[in-house]
Amino acid sequence: MNIIARYLLPEDVCLDIQVGDKHALFEAIGRHMQREHGLSQHQIAHCLLRREQAASTAVGEGVAIPHARIEGLGPIRAAYMRLETPIPFGAPDRRPVSDVLVLLVPYPAADEHLQLLAAATRLFSDGHFRTRLHASRDPVEAARLFVEWPEPPAEAAPARDRM
């Protein structure tokens, strides 16, 4: 099982969502986290936007991994959002983003946060994984792909080097 699958629940997979920009995406993520987990929509959107303002979380090949440390968060939360229409995200390859893996970790979960970011980057650097994910027709199928996909080796090159 991939480490991401430990935290990504089928109800946290949202396919073909419609947003026009990063701000609208972060608001949609906040609404989702409030509806599914009782988290503060405003806090989630604010923390993701604040982190994004520091530097883009886009890694290339249409993928972004917005993440934030959230004060008072219980367990780590992950969500996968597939956008119906790609949006600009400041990616190193300048391509718009359609695959968004959100990682929310309690403050100050530094080590696990970094491990999750590294695993997510390795996972999304795999073109075959991205192709299979795009072919997923429903949230359960997409979530199952995260579960069944083998953990990429830690020595794999970062996404920006392999994409």
Task: Give the active site residues.
Answer: 67
DSSP secondary structure letters along 59-126: EETTEE--EEEETT--S-EEEEEEEEEEE----TT---EEEEEEEEEETT-HHHHHHHHHHHHHHHT-
Q: How far is C-alpha 16 from the chain's CA centre?
A: 14
Task: Compute the distance between CA of residue 144 and CA of residue 150 in angstroms, rounded to an integer.
Answer: 12
